[in-house]
């Protein structure tokens, strides 16, 4: 087995570790990434265990929404819904949760108004809209557009 | 089987039992999601799992081509109430994760096996192609310390005439075992030290690739061999001084 860098100067400059990669003269078109692939493999392997992963806000939000939806029934009171631990944890995510709450509101209007109000400190819902989920959702999405938050 | 010592303050931060399996063509994520009904009492939280792929490719005479990371859902993670145990049901297999505190092999294996049986009933795998055990140890080496060899016998070696201080390292060894036909991937690295301790990560991943029957005892016998090999590596790598840290 021979060890060499194949390809042009740019390749060897970009991937200096390639000098330790076995050359394969039988497959000149084969990508020259064996060495780098090993590094990538090592990196993926290292970060695979759960204890080395950091859950993103999006993942955490999705998990909490799912738990909340599964636990609270349609007949639950607004207070029961808002006091559910998963709902409280969503509020605990703070301002990072707002874009996700707005997207969720757009996708499937539900009782996210309490959380939005608790996090942002504003309430764009007019008194006549209270109790009308679609109208309340629209009020929040309008507010989001005005704030440049999309929605 | 050797009689390995058990430590009250074991350094295991995570243990994983992994089974790579081939599922029939008709089994999809919707089917895997139904596992929640079977495990919900002990593993109430469900989260989608994605396999992330990305990277770059270099060909002779061409500019490097970058593939941005892309995620495809490939299964679910079911987490226990205390967050210490996770069952991963994927389209390519099953993993059972146990986070610190780790009790003992027998309870870890039995719980993993029980959850595998549930996965097997729902995912109906055709064959198992690889089994693996992985133990991640975080050894807190007390400072000041002169030489890693006071605590661990496999260490990065610096040429004698080069300054011997080490601010960081990442070492990965792939060690086949002819006797058991297993392969160990041993990863050692260090985390940032504080004034008191230097955390050394000693990660041992042992596996065997073969075709196992999904219902057979054989793969569980191989898991026992994998555990032996893992323990041989661990106990032959640490010093008596290190063992004292775990008592």
DSSP string, B101-123: SP--HHHHHHHHHHHHHHHHHHH
Sequence-distant (6+) residues with CB within 8 A of B146 are none
Q: What's the pLDDT tens digit per position in B47-59?
A: 888 765 555 555 6
The CATH class that applies to domain B19-51+71-125 reads: alpha beta
Q: Which strand ranges, in their side-by-side order, compose the sheet holding B170-177?
A: B45-57, B65-79, B85-90, B93-99, B12-22, B127-142, B197-212, B182-190, B170-177
> What does the pLDDT average to over A43-50?
82
Q: What's the pLDDT tens digit per position in B154-184?
A: 988 889 999 888 888 999 999 999 888 899 9
pLDDT (0 to 100) of residue B63: 61
pLDDT (0 to 100) of residue A85: 87
> What does the pLDDT average to over A29-50?
68
Q: Determine the 3-state secondary structure of A30 from DSSP.
A: coil
> What does the pLDDT average to over A105-134?
92
* Nearest CA-CA distance, residue B239 and chain A, Å: 24
Nearest residue of chain A to residue B172 (CA atoms): A42
Are A31 and A48 in contact by the 8 Å Cβ rule? The answer is no
Instruction: For residue B218, give the H/E element and its range.
Output: helix B218-237
Question: Cβ separation of A32 and B60 shorter than 8 Å?
Answer: yes
pLDDT band at A35 (very low <50, low <70, confident <90, very high): low
pLDDT (0 to 100) of residue A22: 41
Nearest residue of chain A to residue B136 (CA atoms): A49
Task: Give CA–CA dist A6/A88, Å, rounded.
Answer: 57
Share of chain B above pLDDT 90, in %: 70
Q: Return the minimum-mean-pLDDT range out of A6-20, A56-70, B65-79.
A: A6-20
Question: Cβ separation of B205 and A15 shorter than 8 Å?
Answer: no
pLDDT surpassing 60 at residue A143: yes
Q: Smallest Cβ distance to B60: which of A8, A62, A63?
A: A8
Are B75 and B89 in contact by the 8 Å Cβ rule? The answer is yes
Q: pLDDT: is B198 or A77 the higher one?
A: B198
Q: Which residues of B touch A51 (CB under 8 A)?
A: 13-14, 99-100, 136
Q: Which residues of A touch B55 (CB under 8 A)?
A: 33, 37, 40
pLDDT (0 to 100) of residue A10: 32
Question: Cβ separation of B60 and A7 shorter than 8 Å?
Answer: yes
Task: Give CA–CA dist B78/B46, Å, rounded.
Answer: 5
pLDDT (0 to 100) of residue B93: 96
Domain-wise residue ranges, chain A: 9-52, 57-146
Residues in a beta bridge with B55: B67
B131-158+165-247: CATH topology is TBP-like (3.30.2030)
Q: Determine the 3-state secondary structure of B147 from DSSP.
A: coil
Q: pLDDT: is B235 or B167 the higher one?
A: B235
* Nearest CA-CA distance, residue B191 and chain A, Å: 12
pLDDT surpassing 60 at residue A110: yes
A:42-81 residues touching chain B, CB 8 A cutoff: 42, 45-46, 49-52, 59, 62-63, 66-67
* Nearest CA-CA distance, residue B122 and chain A, Å: 21
Nearest residue of chain B to residue A9 (CA atoms): B61
Domain-wise residue ranges, chain B: 19-51+71-125, 131-158+165-247
Indicate whether this complex's ipTM tops 0.90.
no
Share of chain B above pLDDT 70, in %: 91
Q: What's the pLDDT tens digit per position in B59-108?
A: 666 665 655 444 578 899 999 988 899 999 999 999 999 999 999 999 99
Probe site for chain B from A17, A20, A39, A46 (most B CB atoms < 10 A)? A46
């Amino acid at each position: 087995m021979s060890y060499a860098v194949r390809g042009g100067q740019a390749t060897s400059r970009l991937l200096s570790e390639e000098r330790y990669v076995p050359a394969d003269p039988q497959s000149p078109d084969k990508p020259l990434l064996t060495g780098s692939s090993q590094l990538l493999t090592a990196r993926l392997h290292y970060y695979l265990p759960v204890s080395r992963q950091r859950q993103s806000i999006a993942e955490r939000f999705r998990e909490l929404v799912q738990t909340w939806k599964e636990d609270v029934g349609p007949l639950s009171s607004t207070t029961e819904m808002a006091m559910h631990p998963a709902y409280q944890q969503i509020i605990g995510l703070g301002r990072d949760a707002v874009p996700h709450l707005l997207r969720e509101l757009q996708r499937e209007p539900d009782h996210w108004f309490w959380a939005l109000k608790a996090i942002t400190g504003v309430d764009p819902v007019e008194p006549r809209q209270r109790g009308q989920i679609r109208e309340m959702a629209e009020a929040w999405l309008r507010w989001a557009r005005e704030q440049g938050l999309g929605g | 089987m050797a009689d390995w010592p058990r430590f009250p303050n074991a350094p295991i931060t995570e243990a994983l039992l992994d089974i790579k399996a081939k599922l029939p063509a008709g089994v999809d994520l919707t089917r895997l999601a139904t596992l929640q009904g079977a495990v919900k009492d002990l593993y109430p939280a469900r989260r989608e799992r994605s396999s992330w792929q990305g990277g770059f490719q270099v060909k002779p005479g061409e500019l490097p081509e970058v593939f941005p990371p892309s995620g495809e859902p490939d299964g679910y993670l079911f987490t226990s109430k205390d967050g210490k145990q996770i069952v991963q049901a994927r389209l390519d297999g099953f993993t059972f994760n146990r986070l610190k505190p780790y009790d003992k092999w027998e309870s870890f294996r039995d719980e993993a096996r029980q959850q595998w049986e549930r996965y097997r009933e729902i995912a109906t795998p055709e064959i198992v192609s690889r089994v693996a055990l992985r133990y991640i140890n975080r050894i807190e080496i007390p400072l000041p310390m002169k030489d890693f060899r006071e605590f661990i016998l496999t260490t990065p070696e610096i040429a004698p005439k080069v300054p011997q201080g080490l601010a960081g390292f990442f070492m990965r060894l792939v060690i086949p075992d002819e006797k058991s036909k297993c392969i160990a991937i041993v990863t050692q690295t260090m985390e940032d030290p504080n004034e008191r301790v230097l955390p050394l990560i000693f990660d041992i991943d042992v596996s065997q690739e073969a075709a196992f029957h999904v219902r057979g005892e054989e793969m569980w016998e191989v898991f026992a061999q994998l555990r032996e090999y893992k323990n041989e590596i661990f106990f032959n790598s640490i010093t008596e001084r290190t063992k004292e840290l775990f008592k």
